[in-house]
Amino acid sequence: MGFLDISNVTKSYGAVEVLHKVDIAVEEGEFLVLVGPSGCGKSTLLNMIAGLEAITSGDISIKGRVVNDVHPSKRNIAMVFQSYALYPNMTVAQNMTFGLEMHGVPKPERDLALADVARLLQIEPLLARKPGQLSGGQRQRVAMGRALVRKPDVFLFDEPLSNLDAKLRVDMRTEIKKLHHRLGTTIVYVTHDQIEAMTLSTRIAVMNKGYIQQLGTPKEIYDQPANLFVASFMGSPSMNLLPATVVAHEGALHAGVTDASGALRLLRFSAGTGPRGHVGREIILGIRPEAITDPEGADRKSGNIQPFPNLVGITEPSGADTFVTSEIAGRDCVARMRADADVRPGQAFEFAVNMDKAVAFDPVTELRIG
Amino acid sequence: MSASAQDTAVKTGRIARSLIYLVLIVFALFYLLPLYVMGVNSLKPLAEITGGNMMALPRVWTLDAWAAAWSTAQIGIEPTGLRPYFLNSIQMVVPAVAISTVLGALNGYVLTKWRFRGDTILFGLMLFSCFIPFQIVLIPMAVVLGQLGLAGSVPGLILVHVVYGIGFTTLYYRNYYASFPTELVRAAMIDGAGFFRIFWRILLPVSGPITVVSVIWQFTNIWNDFLFGASFGGTSQPMTVALNNLVSSSTGVKEYNVHFAGAILAALPTLLVYIVAGRYFVRGLMAGSVKG
């Protein structure tokens, strides 16, 4: 039994079911991120936790109390909206204390709470302004302040950073993470940005088409994606997914893929991994770009670096890294190398593949098999 | 030459520009002519009008006609002037405008932020009421007013105008609130504000422009209405009916100067509303129509 329990929750609009039996138990102090493409049902789920949308079946409980029929204001939650939803006719101070006022908290207490949060977020100079006089980042802070003042059990964030420009978004991301560290509050956070999900969360729920595809720590999600959807959705550039055959060779499992010249090359799976029982069958081999490097840049801790001679397609220097594209199994395969790796387009090059990090998927069921 | 003084890069010749202004001035004068005639003649003694030129300025300036129109002119069979009817109109207009505007605002709020099954159909039906001609509802309305015991009274007129105005005010507020972010209402809900509190604290403070539109529209329509006033006014007829009784009486001497003064008196309140709030009117209309 968690702090916030979502058990068997479904949502239907008429005959159309948009959320199918969602089950998540969130512990106190956890930072859960719901991530997925638009239309996956993540915002609907958040609104159901908030009480803004009715639950078709199943239960949502906070601190052991089922809140299905409890009014949003009585659930002791606070929400930060994508558009910030600051009341345009009120000052920042009035915005932040409106909730307390509605809950009948006396003025002196409201002022104390306001002063605390304003100091925490460093927005004291803004308190007398109207939202229209604030910049995007300031509005964001005020919106978070309004949530904090209430001291709720659960914070709900609905894509709070998507209206900010790129630099500010990164700053605010750090800010939110710091805040979570300092206050240890329970947070459910919706985003479509997988980097936000990875950096902020203690756990991620990847959603697609109304189903939870995988629920786990960022590391689990990244290193052991449950299926092809999770593998391709999380990570940028995304995981290389290459058609391969499973070959047993010298007593070990290998993935057989063709290189740019069409010749079959074998990549040995690390001991204890790989799709046992699929020998001779087609699989999808998943390798993250950073697991394909130049030999000098290969991970020294890895026990299984496989050489892979191939022709270099194009190179894309990004400053910090150089992305090298080459053709494997008829697909463009991206490798992430050190910026000073000596690679030129068209050159024959020996790539180093870290097979410790390789995963395999069944092409039919799309589930991970090794 | 003087092109640098213009705001745009498009150059207009001096001659073209002068012509445009000339035409505009001529039209402006033309439209002001009736007001001029009314004003000038209301300030003359009657003899000057009957014996002279309608366009000429008064030789003797006098406010007698105004005083007569206000307090002593023969209206129907009573020599009361327009004053009691003016008060009737005020008593009718103020509550009717207030009630229909408040109801329209609440309707718009519910139709956009508390949506329910069939709300678009309901709104469509309310919209339909904007297109019903007055004459069609006269007899059914008379029956209803009779049954309610409101026939021939100011409250009866208020009811008629409120019912008739709700369609318009609902349309205005619905379109205005449609562009109001629903997330704000949801935020207020989570903050613990109820139905009326959200309306009062969140929506109403930003409803200024559309309220001006609604008030001007309702005020002019209700103040200028003649048909309902004549049909249901009974002993408490509004200004418009009294003006008609003053002007089109078929006995005695036609006191044109009094008629002119009476007509201006009757038009004054709407004129005032337009002058005071007119510039918000266009702004509000645009805000409601373009964004909605």
CATH number of the domain within which B106 lies: 1.10.3720.10
Domain that holds residue A159: 4-233
Length of chain B: 292
Note whether B104 and B166 are same-domain residues.
Answer: yes
pLDDT confidence tier of residue A339, bands split at 50, 70 and 90: confident
Q: Which residues in B lie closer than 8 A to residue A89 (C-beta atoms)? A: 202, 205-206
Q: Is A207 found in the same domain as A264?
A: no
Q: Which of B18, B39, B72 is the last residue of a domain?
A: B72
Give the per-residue pLDDT at A30: 92
pLDDT of residue B3: 43
Question: Both A23 and A58 in a single domain?
Answer: yes
Chain A residues near residue B192 by CB distance under 8 angstroms: 73-74, 99, 102-103
Cα of A25 to nearest chain B Cα, Å? 23
Location of structure tokens 């939650």: A77
Within 10 angstroms of residue B201's Cβ, the number of other Cβ atoms is 19
- The residue out of B13, B43, B72 marking a domain boundary is B72
Task: Please identify, among A199, A233, A267, the residue that sits at the C-terminal boundary of a domain.
Answer: A233
User: Do A90 and A164 share a domain, yes or no?
Assistant: yes
Q: B270 with B220: CB under 8 angstroms?
A: yes
Q: Give whole-number Cα distances, B278 to B168, B217, B274, in Å.
A: 18, 11, 4
Contact pairs from chain A to chain B, CB under 8 Å: 55
Instruction: Quote the pTM value.
Output: 0.79
- B204 to chain A: closest CA residue: A89
Contact A98 B186 (CB under 8 A): no
* Beta strands in A125-251, from DSSP E residues, in sequence order: 154-158, 186-191, 203-208, 211-216, 240-249
Boundary residue ending a domain (B47, B72, B97) = B72
Find the mean pLDDT for residues A179-197.
90
Tell me if A256 sits within 8 A of A265, measured CB to CB. yes
Q: Rounded mean pLDDT of chain A?
A: 89
Domain interval for residue B173: 83-291
Q: Report the distance separating Cα A186 and Cα A27, nearest Å.
A: 8
A148: chain B residues, CB-CB within 8 Å: none
- Whether B193 sits inside 8 A of A88 (CB atoms) is no
How many structural domains compose chain B? Answer: 2
Co-location of A23 and A67 in the same domain: yes
Task: Name the residue of chain A whose CA is nearest to B114's CA.
Answer: A52
The answer to whether the Cβ–Cβ distance between B189 and A52 falls below 8 Å is yes
Give A47's Cβ-side CA count (13 Å radius): 17
Interface of B with A in 125-184 (CB under 8 A): 181, 183-184
The answer to whether the Cβ–Cβ distance between B202 and A87 falls below 8 Å is: yes
Residue A219 has pLDDT above 60, yes or no: yes
DSSP state of A65: E
Chain A neighbors of B195, CB-CB under 8 A:
none
The answer to whether the CB atoms of A83 and B192 lie below 8 A apart is no
Domain boundary among A233, A261, A285: A233
Measured between CA atoms, the residue of chain A closest to residue B190 is: A73
B116 close to A (CB below 8 A): no
Q: What is the average pLDDT across A210-220?
A: 92
Calpha distance A183→A98 (Å, rounded): 22
Among A233, A266, A283, where does a domain finish? Answer: A233
Cross-chain Cβ contact A81/B191 below 8 Å? no
Residues of B in contact with A52 (CB under 8 A): 186, 189-190
Looking at the structure, tell me whether residues A268 and A330 fall in a common domain. yes
Residues B35 and B103 in one domain: no
Bridge partner residues of A62 (DSSP): A4, A65
- CB atoms A81 and B187 under 8 Å: yes
> Which chain A residues have a beta carbon less than 8 Å from that of B186?
50, 52, 72, 79, 81, 85
Buried b (16+ CB within 10 A) or exposed e, B36-51: eebebbbbbbbebbee
- Is there a contact between A79 and B197 if contact means CB atoms under 8 Å apart? no
CB contact under 8 A, A79 and B184: no
Q: Any idea of the CA torsion for B212, B216, B218, B222, to the nearest 10 degrees?
A: 150
- Using an 8 Å CB-CB cutoff, list chain A residues near B181: 83, 85
Higher pLDDT, B239 or A203: A203
- Pairwise CB contact (< 8 Å): B191 & A99: yes
Q: Does residue A297 share a domain with residue A195? A: no
Q: Does residue A229 sit in the same domain as residue A97?
A: yes
The distance of A169 to chain B (nearest Cα, Å) reads 21
Mean pLDDT of A251-267: 86
Say how far apart CA B164 and CA A216 lie, in whole Å. 61
- Say what the pLDDT of residue B290 is: 40
Contact A262, A241 (CB under 8 A): no
The reply to whether residue A73 touches residue B205, judged by beta carbons under 8 angstroms, is no
Tens of pLDDT along chain B (292 residues) come to: 444 455 666 777 888 889 999 999 999 999 999 888 888 888 888 777 777 777 878 888 888 888 887 887 777 777 787 888 888 888 889 999 999 999 999 999 999 988 888 888 988 888 888 888 888 888 888 898 889 888 888 888 899 899 989 999 999 899 889 888 888 888 998 888 888 999 998 888 888 888 888 898 899 989 888 888 888 877 778 878 878 877 777 677 778 888 888 888 888 888 888 888 777 776 666 554 443 3
Percent of chain A with pLDDT over 90: 33
pLDDT at residue B287, rounded to an integer: 54
Q: Is the pLDDT of residue A165 over 50?
A: yes
Q: Are residues A205 and A246 in the same domain?
A: no
Best A13, A73, A96 member to test B by mutation, with max B CBs in 10 Å, is A73
Q: Is B193 on the interface with A (CB under 8 A)?
A: yes
Q: How far is B192 from chain A (nearest CA, A)?
A: 5
Question: Does B192 sit within 8 Å of A103, measured CB to CB?
Answer: yes
Domain count, chain A: 2
Query: Do residues A350 and A311 lie in contact, with contact meaning Cβ atoms separated by under 8 Å?
Result: no
Contact A98 B188 (CB under 8 A): yes
Q: SS in 3 state form for A298-326?
A: CCCCCCCEEEEEEEEEEEEECCCEEEEEE
- B197 inside 8 A of chain A by CB: yes
Residue A367 lies in a domain: no
Beta carbons of A32 and A201 less than 8 angstroms apart:
yes
Residue B77, in any domain of the structure: no
Q: Within this chain, do residues A47 and A144 fall inside the same structural domain, yes or no?
A: yes
Nearest neighbour of B189 by CB, restricted to A72, A78, A103: A72
Collect all residues from A whose CB is shorter than 8 A from any CB in B: 50-52, 71-74, 77-79, 81-83, 85, 87-89, 98-99, 102-103, 146
Distance of CA A208 to the CA centre of its chain: 13
**Nearest-neighbour CA in chain B from A78: distance (Å):** 7
The distance of B114 to chain A (nearest Cα, Å) reads: 12
Residue A110 sits in the same domain as residue A247: no
Contact criterion met (CB < 8 Å) for A73 and B192: yes
Q: Report pLDDT for B4.
A: 47
Note whether A92 and A77 are same-domain residues: yes
Chain B CA closest to residue A158: B183
For residue B9, what pLDDT is reported?
66
Q: Do A338 and A190 have their domain in common?
A: no
- CB contact under 8 Å between B190 and A99, yes or no, is yes
Determine, yes or no, domain membership for B257. yes
Asked if residue A368 belongs to a domain, the reply is no
Residue B149 lies in a domain: yes
Q: Is residue B120 part of a domain?
A: yes
pLDDT score at B97: 93
Q: Which of B183, B184, B190 to mutate to test the interface with A (most CBs of A within 10 A)?
A: B190
Among chain A residues, CA nearest to B202: A87
Shortest CA gap B156–chain A (Å): 38
Mean pLDDT, residues A239-251 taken together:
88
How many helices, marked H, and strands, marked E, lie in chain A? 8, 20
Q: Name all contacts of A318-324 with Cβ < 8 Å and 24+ positions apart.
A: A323/A237, A323/A289, A324/A349
> Does one domain contain both B63 and B90?
no
Q: Do residue B47 and residue B142 come from a single domain?
A: no
Region A231-246: what's the mean pLDDT? 90
| Closest residue, chain B, to A155 (C-alpha) | B190
Mean pLDDT computed over A97-115: 90
In a domain, A312, yes or no: yes
